[in-house]
Every structure is written in C-alpha cells, then in structure tokens.
Amino acid sequence: MKRINKKGMELSINFIVILILSIVVFGFGIKILSGIFRNATEMGSMTQEEINRHLTDIMCDSSERICVAPTRIELRPYGSGYFTIGILNTYDYETTFYIGVKQSTNDEIPTINGDYWILGEDFVKINPNEQKKLGLGVLVPGGTKKGTYVLNVYVCKGDSLSSCDKDSPPDVRYGTTQKLYIVVP
C-alpha cells in the first residue's frame, strides 16, 4: 500500500490558501484604487463656478454679524458679477434689517455715473440667531474707465431704508461698513 506524504499535502494546502488570500487582497486593492480614480475624475469635472459658490458659502458661515464674500471681483465693461451679503441676527427677537449700498465719494476713487448694482431686496426679516444671505449684482457699464470702484454696504435696523448710510446713529447701524471692490482692468 502506498502512503500519502503528509508533508507534501500540507505544503499544497498552505500554497492554495495563501494564493486565495493574495487574490482577495489584490481585488480589494484594485477596488480601492478605482474608487480613488473615480473621485478624482469627479473633482476634475467641477466647474470654477461650483467651487466659488461653495467657497462663498464657507466664507459666510461664521459668527460675524455681517459677512461679504467675495470682497473683490474683476469685471470688464458690460460684465456682471455677484457678491453675497450674509447677515446674522444676534438679537433675541425677529429683526428687520435694511441694506444700503452707496458708491464711495472719495476723490481718489473713480465713480460710475448712476447706480450700477442691483440688490434683490433692500430689507430682510431675520429670526434670532439665524443668518440670511442676499445677492448683490453688479453690472459695469460700457465705456467705464480702468480703475478700482468701491461700494459701501451699510446694514441697519430700524423703521426705514432712508436712515441707512454712513451717518446713521450707532443705535441704528448694525455692524461695520463693508467695502466691496470692483476692479475694471
């Protein structure tokens, strides 16, 4: 009768087990790498607008009373751009906030004749500890000279928009004046 060599059988079984484990580990490695490459291609397909929108959301998610993002945009004549104004109500009651936008009157800063911005709403009601964001659209008129143009944004609480500017009393003004810069190259 022939005897089966136990040492040879153990070696063959160990080899098969190691081979199966190696194939499983190799399969998991390929799956992980394909997931990484899939995520990388998805990130590559994001547009600059999507990235800027998310950055604006991040920049205005803060505990500041007033947040503006971005603070500087570059626009050519006939071009348009947008700012986000975030207002956080730190009072214990619902408050109506008025937003005033005025061109800077500094002699060294060029101005554009007439209003060249569009504010969707000039007032907003905000509940306690809530933040609301408003859009401010800017359209640079044709023939605008090169330079940096400045808009001052005032946020006030009170009875009307007419009292919301740089001369508003401290009990009416909410936060500090925010400066927006429009650069025309």
Q: Return the higher-pLDDT residue of 90 and 48.
A: 90
Say if residues 112 and 65 touch (Cβ distance below 8 Å).
no
Say if residues 56 and 165 touch (Cβ distance below 8 Å).
no
Helix (H, G, I), strand (E, B) or coil at 91: coil
Helix (H, G, I), strand (E, B) or coil at 177: coil
- What is the pLDDT averaged over residues 94-98? 89
**pLDDT at residue 101 in the model:** 85
Amino acid at 166: K
Task: Retrieve residue 174's tokens.
Answer: 């909410």
| 63-84 residue pLDDT tens | 788 888 888 989 888 888 888 8
Q: Is the pLDDT of residue 116 over 80?
A: no
Q: What is the spatial distance between Cα 5 and Cα 18, in angstroms, rounded to a whole number?
A: 20
| 32-41 residue pLDDT tens | 877 777 765 6
Task: Retrieve residue 7's tokens.
Answer: 């040492």
H or E element that contains 34: helix 6-44
Half-sphere exposure at residue 66, Cβ-oriented, CA atoms within 13 angstroms: 21
Say if residues 73 and 83 touch (Cβ distance below 8 Å).
yes
Whether this prediction's pTM lies above 0.95 is answered by no
Q: What is the spatial distance between Cα 29 and Cα 121, in angstroms, rounded to a whole number?
A: 54
Q: What is the spatial distance between Cα 32 and Cα 30, in angstroms, rounded to a whole number?
A: 5
